Amino acid sequence: MKHVLKAWSVIATLCAMPALADTEHTGFFIGGGVSNVDLDIKHVNENLSATGFTLYGGYNFSNWFGIEASVSAATDLGDNNSDLTAAAFTVGPKLSYIINDTITLFAKAGLASVALDDDYYDDDWDWGDDADYSGLGYSFGLGSHFAVTKHLNIRLAYEYINAELDADSRYYNDIDTELSVLSLGLHYQF
């Protein structure tokens, strides 16, 4: 909850700033940020959360249409007996709505590729096991950019990713997953 309040205070401060003239809205952009990643594994009622990162980039063809790709990942999603790492790659079109030269809202949707690595270990028995899962799915997201300078933007975004993952071993069942990624980042608009 503290992170959400901090994010909203940053947004309120930026909204109070006067609009910047000649802010760039088209061309290449690249950025990254800190993320809160929530992983929900269906059929086993397991919901895990951890802090991770998001890297993203793309190209805005116009003020309202662009293409974006992103990578989000988090480690330490497991409990005391496992080390679960989740990573997702998404790509798809992005639609933007410019409120003024400072604030831009966006929505995006596309394809997703998700991978999970679950290292299970038992200290009492001194043995371990490893399960890897991967698969394809879809994603959609919403967010906003706040221009700090002509080329530098602060970004607050939420992305939902749904994927069916296949186990790499016949000893494990396939799983259905949902990832929710809330990120606060910074990007450069070329």
| pLDDT tens sequence for the chain (190 residues) | 555 556 556 555 555 555 445 788 899 999 999 999 999 988 776 778 899 999 999 999 999 999 999 999 998 886 666 678 999 999 999 999 999 989 999 999 999 999 998 776 544 444 456 778 899 999 999 999 999 999 999 999 999 999 999 888 776 778 889 999 999 999 999 9
What is the enclosing helix (H) or strand (E) of 8? helix 2-16
Q: 64 by DSSP, 3-state: which? A: coil
175 vs 20: CA distance, rounded Å: 47
Q: Which domain holds residue 150?
A: 2-189
91 vs 111: CA distance, rounded Å: 6
- For the chain, what is the domain count? 1
Buried b (16+ CB within 10 A) or exposed e, 72-94: bbbbebbeeebbbbbbbbbbbeb
18 vs 33: CA distance, rounded Å: 24
pLDDT, residue 8, reads 54
66 vs 149: CA distance, rounded Å: 21
- DSSP-derived letter for residue 19 is P
Q: 149 by DSSP, 3-state: which? A: coil
pLDDT, residue 172, reads 74
pLDDT, residue 68, reads 98
102 vs 115: CA distance, rounded Å: 36
Residue 55 sits in a domain whose CATH number is 2.40.160.20
Residue linked to tokens 């299970």: 120
N- to C-terminal Cα distance for the chain?
34
